[in-house]
Amino acid sequence: MPGDPLVIRELEFLGGMAGVDTWRPETELPEVAFAGRSNVGKSSLLNRLMHRKKLARVSQTPGKTREINFFRVNNQFVLVDLPGYGYARVSKDARGEWRPLIEGYLKRGERLRGIVQLLDARHDPAPEDLQMLDFLSEIGLPTLIALTKIDKIKPRDRAAHIDAIGRKAGLEGDQLIPFSAVTGEGRTELASAILSLLEQPHWRIPDDA
């Protein structure tokens, strides 16, 4: 595709990580993670980003995925799909298991270069979103913000929605990347931002275990 900053030539599913101290892929490639609420459209975003129809299955039951899934992209980097959080119908026990899994990976991921945090462009950030953003800020993890489902908002209303989300989340407008899995809007911008993120040195202070 002309002008595509991220041409997908090779894509391989490496496996799923079910617990903090369980299996994880043995690779020296840098990693970029993707996080968001269970109904934010993460699977659809990943499918559009990777130019695939079934990279990440679009579940009819939000909150069903309970593992961290790893995909090797072009032998260039590893895409890390974190379980969705915040789905009300998932039991408290299950949600209690996911939090240490997600936070444990983000704190201890030795090859992690940053994260793409997804927010629904149609709504103010949920309490769980704000908690996640606070956690990412606390550990100092470089973060990109993708506003999903932007095609659901009328063009004349977009600026107001983006501004409101930025104010609620304490983010500047230029930190937010509007994205549509339906039309492909924002795919080029997000791909470019991810590649720039992958080029950065590791974010964690060496003695911060």
pLDDT digits (tens, 9 = 90+) for 14-29: 998 887 777 778 889 9
Give the angle 140-37-161 at the CA atoms, nearest 5°: 85
**Which residues make beta-bridge pairs with 152?**
none
Q: Which domain holds residue 139?
A: 11-198
Residue 183 maps to which CATH number? Answer: 3.40.50.300
Instruction: Answer yes or no: is 4 within a domain.
Output: no
Instruction: Answer yes or no: is 62 within a domain.
Output: yes
CA dihedral 166, 203, 131, 55 (to 10 degrees): 80
Structural domain tally of the chain?
1
Instruction: Answer yes or no: is 54 within a domain.
Output: yes
**Which residues make beta-bridge pairs with 114?**
32
Q: What is the DSSP secondary structure assignment for residue 173, as one 8-state letter?
A: G
Instruction: Answer yes or no: is 144 within a domain.
Output: yes
Instruction: Answer yes or no: is 206 within a domain.
Output: no
Q: Where are the alpha helices (DSSP H) in 23-114?
A: 42-49, 92-108
Q: What is the pTM of this model?
A: 0.88
Neighbours of 171 (CB within 10 A): 18
Instruction: Answer yes or no: is 103 within a domain.
Output: yes
pLDDT digits (tens, 9 = 90+) for 51-83: 998 775 544 444 445 789 999 999 999 999 999
Instruction: Answer yes or no: is 207 within a domain.
Output: no
Q: How far apart, in whole angstroms, are the C-alpha atoms of residue 4 and residue 40?
A: 25
What confidence score (pLDDT) does residue 60 get?
45
Instruction: Answer yes or no: is 130 within a domain.
Output: yes
